Structure 1
Amino acid sequence: MASGIFAILDDIAALMDDVAVTSKVAANKTAAILGDDLAVNAEKATGFVSSREIPVLWAITKGSLINKLIIVPIALLLNVFLPDLIGYILILGGFYLAYEGVEKVIEVLFHKKHEDTKSRMLENDPAAEKAKINAAVTTDFILSIEIVIIALNTVLDQSLMIQIFTVSLIAVLATVGVYGIVTLIVRMDDVGYKLIRKSKGEGILFPLGKGLVRSLPVVIKVLGYVGTVALFMVAGGIFEHNVGFLHGVWENIPGFLRQILFATIAGLIVVILVTGFKSLYRTVVKK
């Protein structure tokens, strides 16, 4: 009896060792997309009054965890029964990310004058807050698919149990890590103000606090640009790796620029289709 228990414990220990090794490989493979995920979500988690930042971030984090709970079992099942379908799902997600990226660029180029009004609306309008949370969770869903699929692809030669544990661990670490860092970023100014009050205008804490307060708008703005570029690169990477006829296209162009070009073209196509559909819908409704 005792020997049987020790044998089970030995099997569990061996499984955990294997999971630790495969998780390290999967984490390395997903590092780039996690960086993109951080940039995108840090930009999306801003624009709220200080008192609403933590509740909003918690709402997005819960949405992200629910996304992972949905995606992980579906990805594992599809990998067993319909592996070819995963590529098509990724391509659809790529079109969504490309559309969102192009929409952001259009907003900056042609609707910049409405930026201040929108900022005030997010501060005072619960409906606008909810809409931004939903948008963040939707984008997280697409990025989570990419993270889970990449992690799964690193353990395809392993047993099903190792696949389940590895992909699940990466999914949890992705959510906790990304949104933990996002929380630290958006609370920079609060930490800065506390340091200023504590310093009473003297010592090293005072300039450090002022630096944190002044840095936050710059960090958020930079992350906004980085997040937009990340959308293009993630989408373009999806197209490059999953659309057969794109293999070998524009090989003389650096990889990241090639990905941005693929995503820009795809995003513009979706923008044109969505704009045309909306215009047609309004025309039909007016009639």
Structure 2
Amino acid sequence: MPTGLVALLDDISVIAKAAAASIDDVGVAAAKAGTKAAGVVIDDAAVTPSYVTEFTPDRELPIIWQIAKGSLKNKLLILLPAALLLSEFLPQAMTPLLMMGGLFLCYEGAEKVLEKLGGAKHGETLEDPIEDMATFEKERISGAVRTDFILSAEIMAISLAEVASEPLLSRGIILALVGIVITAAVYGVVALIVKMDDIGLHMVQERTSATAKAFGRGLLHAMPRLLTFLSVVGTLAMLWVGGHIMVDGAKKLGFKPPYEAIHAVEHVVHEATGALGGVLGWLTNSALSGVVGLILGTIVALALHKVPALFGKSAH
């Protein structure tokens, strides 16, 4: 009897260790998949604060919460099942679909660059007077969730490409974990960003210490700079990630010259810079991928906004 009990306990120990290892593998895979989606995440964090402009401070967090819930629904109820079905029954479509998403990122990033260089602005503006604030709020939330759907699709596609070799159940757990963690991180950061000025103003107006008042004023001054910085980083990240997806996808489809050229330059930089070779080589790869993204995105942007104009049609 003791022998049987010891054997049973030993079996349980082995199963527990295997389960723990499996959970650890899922965590590592989820982290790897989430890291690949960094460009989209940064842009999401940079874009979302604009959706709470024109609202009173007491409505900012509720609106962000509504957008975050919509984002989770996008990821877990729509995109996750679609991604799993596609990867299980039509895996050969993953690379072309991922490249389509990568091209969209290139286009978004290039369009922002063109606008900064003096090109016409495209999309909605906030200059029209607001007649019904409740309706305006619903429309703003709806628009944000629609935009999030595109960004979430990119996140899930990029993440799925990283875990395509995992079993179906593991794939589902990993993608769900990535979706939840990224949503919490993005909208948590967004909530902090949009409340920075309120926190700073509170610290300045309340009877706090001189140090606290100075810190509050620093927050007030930092807010616009932070949003500008996030916008720039988000644009660069989109071009880098989009360009990398396009180059890597082209290689998988048999067109290897761009991939080989970029990695050849990366190798030269890596070998020539000694201890900093790893970092500088990666930066070189990222920069060249970003250039590819900018070129492809500019071609798409010009095609979308110039060609229709030749026929007297609206690009929008």
Q: How far 1:160 moved relative to its partner?
A: 2.8
> Would the alpha carbon gap of residues 261 and 123 (structure 1) be closer, same or farther in structure 2, given more than 3 Å must change?
farther
- Contact between 2:75 and 2:153, CA under 8 Å: does it hold in 1? no
Q: How far 1:80 moved relative to its partner?
A: 1.8
Match of 2:259 in 1: 247
Q: Counterparts of 1:110-125 in structure 2 under 5 Å?
A: 110-111=118-119, 118=125, 120=127
Q: Distance in 2 between matches of 1:50 and 1:196?
A: 22
- Report whether the alignment pairs 1:145 with 2:180: no
Q: How far 1:227 moved relative to its partner?
A: 0.8
- Report whether the alignment pairs 1:278 with 2:308: yes
- Report whether the alignment pairs 1:46 with 2:46: no
2:83 to 75, 83, 99: 75
Q: Counterparts of 1:48-127 in structure 2 under 5 Å?
A: 48-51=53-56, 52-69=59-76, 70-111=78-119, 118=125, 120=127, 126=136
Q: How far 1:118 moved relative to its partner?
A: 4.4
Identity score, percent: 26
- Report whether the alignment pairs 1:174 with 2:188: no
Q: How far 1:46 moved relative to its partner?
A: 2.5
How many aligned positions are there? Answer: 273
4+ long deviations beyond 4 Å: 6-14, 117-125
Unaligned runs of 5+ in 2: 267-283
- TM-score of the superposed pair, with normalisation by structure 1: 0.80
- Contact between 1:22 and 1:166, CA under 8 Å: does it hold in 2? yes
- Contact between 2:43 and 2:230, CA under 8 Å: does it hold in 1? yes
For the pair shown, the structure with the greater C-alpha radius of gyration is: 2
- TM-score of the superposed pair, with normalisation by structure 2: 0.73
> Would the alpha carbon gap of residues 122 and 255 (structure 1) be closer, same or farther in structure 2, given more than 3 Å must change?
farther
Unaligned runs of 5+ in 1: none
Match of 2:296 in 1: 266
> Would the alpha carbon gap of residues 104 and 19 (structure 1) be closer, same or farther in structure 2, given more than 3 Å must change?
same
Q: Distance in 2 between matches of 1:109 and 1:84?
A: 39
Match of 2:236 in 1: 229
- Report whether the alignment pairs 1:187 with 2:208: no
Q: Distance in 1 between matches of 2:235 and 2:114?
A: 12
Amino acid at match of 1:227: G
- Contact between 2:36 and 2:159, CA under 8 Å: does it hold in 1? no
> Would the alpha carbon gap of residues 212 and 182 (structure 1) be closer, same or farther in structure 2, given more than 3 Å must change?
same
Secondary structure of 2:261's counterpart equals: coil
Amino acid at match of 2:296: A
Match of 1:23 in 2: 27
Q: Distance in 1 between matches of 2:80 and 2:141?
A: 26
Amino acid at match of 2:235: T
Q: Distance in 1 between matches of 2:126 and 2:115?
A: 14
